[in-house]
Amino acid sequence: MKRSMNKMHVIKTVAFLLIFVLLLGYVTDILQPKWIDGTSVTFVQENFYKEKKNSIEVAVLGSSQLVYGISSMRLLENYGISAYSLATGEQPVLCGYFYLREMVHSQNIKTVIYDVSMLYEEEQETRFRKTIDTAPMSRNKLWMILEHRNLSFAESARTYFFPIMKYHSRWEELEEMDYHYADLNTEVFKGNIMSPIASQRINYEKLCVDNDEIDASITMDESELYYFREMVQYCKEQNIELILIKTPKTTWTKSAMVGVEALAEEYQLPYMDFNTAELLEASGIDIEKDFWNQDHLNIRGAEKLTDYMAEYLLANGTYTDGRNTEAYDEEEVRRYYIDRENKYLQTSNSLEDVMTALKNDRYEVVMQLNGDIASHWNEDAQQLLAELGVSVNMAELQNAPFIGQYKNGNRFYEESQATAFTHEGTFSNGTPYEVTSNPSGNEMETGAKIAGEEISFQKKGLNFCVYDTVNNKLVDNFTLYYDEDRGDFNIYRYRES
């Protein structure tokens, strides 16, 4: 009887501890910050641990330049190379080294592509928390915590083993997103995010470092360099090829490049710096179309850089064709192509690029005029609109209101009137819209409403609303306007700061 009671006591104790651990994990997950903005560290990590074992052969590591700068899905789809990017925003070298160890543990890593930006960055505690807080417990995580605690600014190791000790007071800041953040994981594909922004403000003289003066005061961070050397040694022990690259970045310098060149020569490592005129030209990077901002490529630039690296990989190594393995996920590929098409539209900054992107059976377009473009209109622009299905000649609409609805060459509605008017219609899937055209009115007063959602254009010109009738979402809205500075038509997208 006594033995039976002891057994029951043990069972109750174990059950209590199990419930406590589960509740602690659940509460910790809610309370700790969700690193899902910008480089989406949380989703990048979570998705990696869902990959099938031994299905990845190329590891992409480094800072945010590679989150946006190399497309693992393009490597797979176009070249058969199975890659995953565990690059994260402002990633300390120690964190990149940790990720490499994690990838070697579960994957068949043959090659590492490593961006060298962080060699020159002073370490900060927040950058480590993004990695350590979100990574599942493992021998490698334990190793990283112990290594990290040796740094002068490191917080107590206890807060890494039990993050709730640091974040217990966050309960006052909790939002709906903290409970349902997983629903927002829609744009990360094998660790990469395709940027939907195209900046036209890139200065080539700042981007290309060829003519820079050498500044001897620019040196590598000692701690970053130490862990880089450790990572080099680890790659040698694991028989992994380590390739160093520097993606295009206007804040990079020739001094930094020369420092990395010396380091690469010391270890006999290949190093490709895309801030030189030679590699900018060889990769086909276009400063007018291929950048998100001063330091990051958008989807167009990323695909060009990816193509260049793929050719190098295939010329210097042998890889299993990931398209012919059990790990090939057709649903992921389907979602990738949808997102890719959307991002190509969203980065179109010329009427010609827009019309190319709109040749898609998912898209329907509602157009509205709220400014005078007739005086600058030309035959080339009219022919491009005709491909969409537009029959009205914009050159004849001098301050005349105009609304039209089109899909890939088909015209559903088209009207111009003498005075301002509003049209209520539906897309082919039944989604309602309402559009007002008033060329003489304030651009803030004329807009559109799609499925009850207000759309603001913030610019006078020919406005476009692009709706995905298959996935029931507004994909893009922008204004075609005449840019006096360029002496040509340009595309404007309003983005809330």
Give every CB contact of residue 335 below 8 A, 6+ residues apart in sequence: 186, 189
Q: Show the 3-state SS of the chain.
A: CHHHHHHHHHHHHHHHHHHHHHHHHHHHHHHCCCCCCCCCHHHHHHHHCCCCCCCCCEEEECCHHHHHHCCHHHHHHHHCCCEEECCCCCCCHHHHHHHHHHHHHHCCCCEEEEECHHHHCCCCHHHHHHHHCCCCCCHHHHHHHHHHCCCCCCCCCHHHHCCHHHHHHHHHHCCHHHHHHHHHCCCEECCEECCCCCCCCCCHHHHCCCCCCCCCCCCCCHHHHHHHHHHHHHHHHCCCEEEEEECCCCCCCHHHHHHHHHHHHHHCCCEEECCCHHHHHHHCCCCCCCECCCCCECHHHHHHHHHHHHHHHHHHCCCCCHHHCCCCCHHHHHHHHHHHHHHHHHCCCCHHHHHHHCCCCCEEEEEEECCCCHHHCCHHHHHHHHHHCCCCCHHHCCCCCEEEEEECCEEEEEEECCCCEEEEEECCCCCEEEEEECCCCCCCCCCEEECCEEECCCCCCEEEEEEECCCCEEEEEEEEEEECCCCEEEEECCCCC
Sign of the torsion angle spanned by Cα atoms 167, 172, 176, 179: positive
Report residue 141 CA to chain centroid gap: 26
pLDDT at res. 469: 96
Q: Does residue 282 register a pLDDT over 80?
A: yes
| Residues 104-135 pLDDT 10s | 999 999 999 999 999 999 888 888 887 888 88
pLDDT for 30 beyond 60: no
> What percent of the chain is modeled with pLDDT above 90?
68
On whether the pTM is more than 0.75, the answer is yes
Q: What is the pLDDT of residue 162?
A: 67
Answer whether residue 87 shows pLDDT above 90.
yes
Which pLDDT band, with edges at 50, 70 and 90, does 36 fall under? very low
Question: Which of 5-19, 190-204, 221-235, 293-307 has the least mean pLDDT?
Answer: 5-19
Given this model, what pLDDT does residue 325 score? 96
Say how far apart CA 82 and CA 426 lie, in whole Å: 43
What does the alpha-carbon distance between residue 347 and residue 300 come to, in Å, rounded to a whole number?
8
Say which residue, 231 or 496, is predicted with more confidence. 231
| Cβ-contact 113, 72 below 8 angstroms | no
- Tell me the C-alpha distance between 329 and 386, whole Å: 38
The CA distance from 439 to 369, in Å, is 6
Q: What is the pLDDT of residue 301?
A: 97
pLDDT above 70 for 177: no
**Of residues 95 and 39, which shows the higher confidence score?**
95
pLDDT at 175 over 70: no
Bigger pLDDT: 284 or 27?
A: 284
pLDDT 10s digits, 290-349: 999 999 999 999 999 999 999 999 999 999 999 999 999 999 999 999 999 999 999 999
Whether 67 shows a pLDDT value over 80: the answer reads: yes
Tens digits of per-residue pLDDT, 40-51? 677 888 899 999
Contact 197, 294 (CB under 8 A): no
pLDDT for position 445: 58
Q: Is the model more confident about 113 or about 171? A: 113
pLDDT digits (tens, 9 = 90+) for 343-377: 999 999 999 999 999 999 999 999 999 888 999 99
- CB atoms under 10 Å from CB of 446, counted, come to 24
Q: How high does pLDDT run on average in the chain?
A: 88
Provide the percentage of residues in the chain whose pLDDT is more than 70. 85
What's the length of the chain? 497
